[in-house]
Structure 1
Amino acid sequence: MEDCLPLKQHLEELVAAGHLDQYIDGGMKVAPPGQTEPNGLATLEVAPQGVINVIHSIIEPARVCELRGMIKKAEHMRETLFVQPAVKKGKSEEKDILTFSSKDLERIQMPHNDALVVTFRVKDFDIKRILIDQGSSVKIMYYDAFKQMKLDDKDLALAMSPFVGFNSQPEWPVGKIILPVKAGSVIKQVEFWVLKVPSTYNLILDRGWLHAMQAVASTYHQVLRFPAPTG
């Protein structure tokens, strides 16, 4: 029953209609009049009590005036040095618009929870199972893929620091290496850190690579798009 989506949806509809209150702890709470949207969801119209910002550090009172003066000076320099670029009058054609549409979903079996995994040409090899990880800040090549590319440990530069992942356990890379990565018609020189740990992927490309490619990734559409000389 856990995998029966139509049954789950039907049960949720019965709960929303109030037919299963006796089976739910506390029953369903009815939204106040005038605070229910057409879809049956209660709206939150109460104003927030405040805004919580990020606290970067604690500033001593004696430094407040000094910092205010520095901020004013920086604002003055920005206004003085800023030059507004000339704008041509008339309509300007927008280029390199990256979009996704429902047409991209025609080949996708929905619903899904898949990561975005692609195939690129790395050096002289077509490497499959490359994970596009927007949460990563480093590009990783796993040692098994490194050896299958007929590379040797002597090709690696020395790595001076370990990685610390979400499990807080440090992993020392074997080394690092710069290799060309070809995506479509675009080639970028990429520095990989080589790790000798088990993985279901061959490579991981991070948000730094995405920014260098000016790429936009959509895990929902299972598509990666970026501007290239040919469009």
Structure 2
Amino acid sequence: MSVAWLSTEDANPEPKRARVDIQSALSFLDEDNIKTIQPHNNALVVMLRMGGYDVKRVMVDQCSGAEIMYLDLYKGLNLRPEDLTVYDSPLASFDGNVVVPKGQIRLPMQAGSVVVEVDFIVVDAYSLYTAIMVRPWFHALRAVSSTLHQKVKYPSRGQIEKIVGSQSSAR
């Protein structure tokens, strides 16, 4: 006759639990429209911290492929011509004109608690905006935007942070 010895652990095994990482979804709800003027057709214009300064009238445009900084902002940030690196590919502006860039510069961009290095192409052209933020910034920040809700949302430290647009700046 054989005898099997069981420990109390073997006799009452606890079920194993799968480790589940819960991530918040980046989404927009009707409540995100609170404090926006509806209906509207405004561009998404925000304030961001750029190179240590709060910069207003930054347009958010997910359709473009290159971050743009206008020369007035470049000078306003006290950057010098020698801070630029060469960037000599011409760009087409919104109005269809060809613009030759002054150069390119990499600056830290802060959104809430997240800092992302961004390569800006500096142009000397007229614009109502100081800069244009586009896909590379969104991808680095892991962000999504909604012009309808006038917000950018992105994950940070296990939460969803948001940047709220300024409809008055967009008009």
Query: TM-score, normalised on structure 1?
Result: 0.59
**Structure in which a larger fraction of residues adopt helix:** 1
Q: Which letter does structure 1 place at the counterpart of 2:90? A: P
**One-letter amino acid of the structure 2 residue matched with residue 169 of structure 1:** N
Q: Which one of 65, 84, 93 corresponds to residue 156 of structure 1?
A: 84
Equivalenced residue count is 144
Match of 2:105 in 1: 177
Distance apart, 1:91 and its partner CA: 8.1
Residue number in structure 2 paired with 1:224? 152
Counterpart position of 1:211 = 139
Q: For 2:94 and 2:58, locate their aligned partners in 1 and report how far apart those are by CA, in whole Å.
A: 20
User: Match for residue 6 of structure 1?
Assistant: none
Residue deviations 1:156-188 (CA, integer Å, cap 9, x gap): 111121112455432100111000000010001
Matched, 1:116 2:19: no
- What letter matches 1:227 in structure 2? P
Equivalent in the alignment of 2:117: 189
Residue matched to 1:133: 61
**Larger radius of gyration, structure 1 or 2?**
1
Matches within 5 A, 1:38-187: 92-165=20-93, 167-187=95-115
Deviations 1:46-93 (A, max 9, x none): xxxxxxxxxxxxxxxxxxxxxxxxxxxxxxxxxxxxxxxxxx975845
Structure 2 letter corresponding to 1:152: R
Q: Distance in 2 between matches of 1:194 and 1:116?
A: 21
* Larger strand fraction of residues: 2
Instruction: Name the CA distance, whole Å, in 1 between partners of 2:106 and 2:34.
Output: 37
> Shift in Å at residue 120 of structure 1?
0.8
Larger RCO: 1 or 2 (CA < 8 Å, sep 6+):
2
Aligned counterparts of 2:45 and 2:17: Cα–Cα separation in 1? 44
Deviation of residue 104 (structure 1)? 1.2
**Distance verdict in 2 for CA 1:168–1:89, change over 3 Å:** farther
Conserved? CA contact 2:107–2:117, under 8 Å: yes
CA contact (8 A) 2:71 2:122 kept: yes
Deviation at 1:230, TM superposition (A): 5.1
Residue segments in structure 2 that go unaligned for 5+ positions in a row: 1-15, 160-171
Supply the AA of the counterpart residue of 1:174. K
What's the RMSD between the two structures over aligned residues?
1.8
